[in-house]
Chain A
Amino acid sequence: MSKIEVKNVYKIFGDNPSKVLPMVQDGATKEEILEKTGHTVGLDDVSIKVEEGETFVCMGLSGSGKSTLIRHINRLIDPTSGEVLVEGTNVMELDQKNLIDFRRHKMSMVFQRFGLFPHKTVIQNVGYGLEVQGKEPNERNKVAMEKIESVGLTGFEHQYPNQLSGGMQQRVGLARALATNTDIMLMDEAFSALDPLIRSDMQKQLIELQAELKKTIVFITHDLDESLKLGDHIGILNHGRVVQIGTPIEIIMKPADDYVAAFVKDVNRAKVIKAKIIMITPEKFKGRKEKNSNTIKVNEDSFLDEFLPKVCLTPATVEVVDKSGNVKGYITEKELSVALTKSKADVLTKSKT
């Protein structure tokens, strides 16, 4: 059973969505619906599955429905039709009381513009989830302090949010989401409002936290690099429809259509592809004629751009090893050049046709 399952969800915004629903189900496009009925299609037959402990990144440009989708999971928005299952419970069938309970204990959320309470201090913000649960101030402050420490904001707990910089504010948002200790975290463009340096810092911090906590994360972004960096699986949305779901490598290597292809065209492949994906087996390597005298040892999980400069400086054969040092395979210049250019050419020919 998947942790989160979204099944055939439709969301139509307007005065009379249920009337428009059959048209959408018959395959009318977003533009047609808008022109004929004045309704906006938010989500069009969206189904996704998120497994326990993974990071699922939902990607798309603005207006593609990704923020609408994430709000269905904790039912901040009700779908026009379809089901949302979390750990097998249908979220749509919860009554008001159970829904509140569900939001308190099952999932937490991080927002694009932080969504911090400006009238509360950092520690009060972080403890808010516990406050609404009715926990005593002592207890919630203790938990809040732990989380503030884990995001590296010790010393700022009595500041107000707008006394902090954007990156620090989002750390407060992250700490607030961690404080309720829920299995699931929803992150709605959590890092999009931050400048690039702080963003990559936060991404690193999230990856570190995730390695430790193993939460189920649904992450929304419009930034492909971010989704490739964080996602175990990526779902790409366009005009409210899911166009492709797959691992980062699948998305890069085999884009499902022109839209995805255009998306991945400019991606820095060296940052995404890991050594173990393009390496050749030792047997194959023995058959090769061209051999360099130099060898560089790299971990199988390192990305190409981590050792690419070294290869460029001194022509060398890359020896791929696993954590305990066993040789798993080799990478020569040939593999490198293929990996970095091949499917790019693919994309070009594809978009021409």
Chain B
Amino acid sequence: MKPIILGAMFIAVIIIGYRSAKPRYKPEHFTDIFNDFSWLGNWPKWLDFPLMQPLNKGFDWLIVNYGVFFEGINNFLLGMYTSMKDFLVGLPWPLVIAMVIFITYFASGRKVNTTIAVAFCTFFLGFLSPRYWDKCIMTTCIVLIGMLLCIVVGIPIGIAMARNKKVRNALLPILDLMQTIPSFCYLIPGILLFGLGAVPAIIAIFVYAVPPLIRLTDLGIRLVDKEVIEASEAFGASRKQTLWGVQIPLALPNIMQGINQCTMMSLAMVVIASMIGTRGIGDEVLLGLQQLNVGMATEAGIAIVLLAIIFDRITQSYGEKIQERTQKKKVFNVKD
């Protein structure tokens, strides 16, 4: 049954393509294609599926009819971004460094080495070039909001995937699509829907960085030892109790890994997003590229790497802290 349906769909698509082709590309009568086989040489111009125009029309329709909706999202994200950025830019820079140190120290479980390394990196952001300081703050704000969006949406989807095979089968191809489609393909509609600036960058970060988080959440939950889940069920835990009491805590190291991946990909995206006018450290790289100024591009590149190290160390060491708690090494051997 399935091959017949697929076959019928294929023929229908070809007919649609043929009908919509411009008359000058087509033979005078369609029976001609069975007499004159010259079209088998080069790809004939009438064998063309019309996708671009409907997509453009659909997109226009979306903007006209649901513009308010996108406007709302835009205002919300922009408001969040602006207030966060203004707050951090307004703070004296030593205070910001102190904040970073404070967060790292407690997130890493009071690891002094990590804290010192992160503090050093933070200092060097401004030390490299004073104008980088504000730009790094802008980039950080975009990445943080993008990550927040990823976490709020990605983790519940990951959980749903792990618990329901149908959801997983439906979502996996979409995740593949999100990961393989070139980022420019969604940057352009992003501009049209949200205008230039920070918001399309946040949306692009979301599309680009949420798949690994979803995948790792899903994987983490499914990797939890089956016997442990059986034990939970055997003692009469409801599905909800098993999820919150057993599955999520045990999947946390993997979820943290997902968040870490998410951060790294967000930073990579922020540089690309500078091409659509997103302000931040990425536009320094772009500027260097445009002026063929190797020193400038490298300097900005180093700043991005430092930013990446800061993010990575904080999320990674937080993940390690959780892991330590769940998988404590044998401290001593005890005889039975």
* Interface of A toward B, CB cutoff 8 Å: 71, 74, 76, 100-105, 107-109, 111-119, 128-129, 131-133, 156, 160, 162-165, 167-168, 176, 180, 186, 198, 201
- With both beta carbons as reference points, the residue of chain B lying nearest to A96 in the complex is identified as B238
In the complex the two chains form, is A118's CB within 8 Å of B326's CB?
A: yes
In the complex the two chains form, is A117's CB within 8 Å of B227's CB?
A: no
Question: Is B164 interfacial (CB-CB < 8 Å)?
Answer: no
Residues of B within 8 A of A112 (CB): 227
In the complex the two chains form, is B230's CB within 8 Å of A116's CB?
A: no
**Residue interface bits B228-267, CB-to-A below 8 A is 1, else 0:** 1011111111100100011001100000000000000000
20 more CB-based (< 8 A) A-B contacts, given A115-B228, A167-B336, A201-B336: A71-B230, A74-B234, A100-B236, A102-B236, A104-B235, A105-B236, A108-B234, A112-B227, A113-B225, A115-B227, A117-B232, A128-B232, A129-B235, A156-B334, A160-B328, A162-B329, A165-B333, A168-B336, A176-B235, A186-B234
What would 17 A/B residue contacts be, using CB atoms closer than 8 Å?
Answer: A103-B234, A108-B235, A109-B235, A111-B227, A113-B225, A115-B230, A116-B231, A118-B228, A118-B326, A128-B245, A132-B237, A160-B328, A162-B327, A163-B330, A165-B334, A165-B335, A201-B336
**Residue interface bits B306-336, CB-to-A below 8 A is 1, else 0:** 0000000000000000000111111111111
List the 4 closest pairs (A to B, CB-CB), nearest first.
Answer: A104-B236, A115-B231, A103-B236, A109-B234
In the complex the two chains form, is A168's CB within 8 Å of B334's CB?
A: yes
User: Closest CB of chain A to B163's CB: distance in Å?
Assistant: 15
User: Closest CB of chain B to A184's CB: distance in Å?
Assistant: 11
Residues of A within 8 A of B233 (CB): 76, 103
How many B residues touch A, CB cutoff 8 Å?
29
- With both beta carbons as reference points, the residue of chain A lying nearest to B249 in the complex is identified as A119
Which of A104, A156, A201 has most chain B Cβ within 10 Å?
A: A104
**Per a CB cutoff under 8 Å, which of A76, A101, A113, A198 touches B234?**
A76
Residues of B within 8 A of A115 (CB): 225, 227-228, 230-231
In the complex the two chains form, is B235's CB within 8 Å of A103's CB?
A: yes
* Interface of B toward A, CB cutoff 8 Å: 225, 227-228, 230-238, 241, 245-246, 249-250, 325-336
- With both beta carbons as reference points, the residue of chain B lying nearest to A155 in the complex is identified as B334
Residues of A within 8 A of B234 (CB): 74, 76, 103, 107-109, 186
Residues of B within 8 A of A113 (CB): 225, 227
Residues of B within 8 A of A198 (CB): 336
Residues of B within 8 A of A128 (CB): 232, 235, 237, 245
Which of A101, A109, A117, A201 has most chain B Cβ within 10 Å?
A: A117
User: Closest CB of chain A to B276's CB: distance in Å?
Assistant: 44
- With both beta carbons as reference points, the residue of chain B lying nearest to A106 in the complex is identified as B236
Residues of B within 8 A of A180 (CB): 235
In the complex the two chains form, is A76's CB within 8 Å of B235's CB?
A: no
In the complex the two chains form, is B325's CB within 8 Å of A119's CB?
A: yes
Bound-state CA distance A118–B238 (Å) is 19
Which of B236, B327, B330, B336 has most chain A Cβ within 10 Å?
A: B236
Bound-state CA distance A160–B332 (Å) is 12
Residues of B within 8 A of A133 (CB): 236
**Per a CB cutoff under 8 Å, which of A76, A101, A163, A164 touches B230?**
A76
In the complex the two chains form, is A117's CB within 8 Å of B237's CB?
A: no
Bound-state CA distance A119–B244 (Å) is 12
Bound-state CA distance A111–B230 (Å) is 9
Bound-state CA distance A180–B231 (Å) is 13
Residues of A within 8 A of B326 (CB): 118-119, 160
In the complex the two chains form, is B236's CB within 8 Å of A129's CB?
A: yes
Assuming the contacts A100-B238, A119-B325, A119-B326, asked whether A163 and B232 have C-beta atoms less than 8 A apart, the reply is no
Residues of A within 8 A of B237 (CB): 100, 128, 132
Residues of A within 8 A of B327 (CB): 118, 162
**Per a CB cutoff under 8 Å, which of A101, A103, A109, A116 touches B228?**
A116
**Per a CB cutoff under 8 Å, which of A103, A160, A165 touches B336?**
A165
Bound-state CA distance A98–B241 (Å) is 16
Which of B228, B233, B335, B336 has most chain A Cβ within 10 Å?
A: B336
User: Closest CB of chain A to B194's CB: distance in Å?
Assistant: 41
- With both beta carbons as reference points, the residue of chain A lying nearest to B226 in the complex is identified as A115
Residues of B within 8 A of A108 (CB): 234-235
User: Closest CB of chain B to A3's CB: distance in Å?
Assistant: 18
User: Closest CB of chain B to A55's CB: distance in Å?
Assistant: 19
Residues of A within 8 A of B235 (CB): 103-104, 108-109, 128-129, 132, 176, 180
In the complex the two chains form, is B241's CB within 8 Å of A132's CB?
A: yes
- With both beta carbons as reference points, the residue of chain B lying nearest to A99 in the complex is identified as B236
Bound-state CA distance A132–B232 (Å) is 9
- With both beta carbons as reference points, the residue of chain A lying nearest to B333 in the complex is identified as A165
Bound-state CA distance A198–B227 (Å) is 22
In the complex the two chains form, is B236's CB within 8 Å of A101's CB?
A: yes
Residues of A within 8 A of B332 (CB): 163
- With both beta carbons as reference points, the residue of chain A lying nearest to B246 in the complex is identified as A117
Residues of B within 8 A of A129 (CB): 235-236
- With both beta carbons as reference points, the residue of chain B lying nearest to A105 in the complex is identified as B236
Bound-state CA distance A198–B332 (Å) is 19
Bound-state CA distance A115–B228 (Å) is 4
In the complex the two chains form, is B336's CB within 8 Å of A111's CB?
A: no
Residues of A within 8 A of B231 (CB): 109, 111, 115-117
**Per a CB cutoff under 8 Å, which of B236, B241, B328 touches A163?**
B328
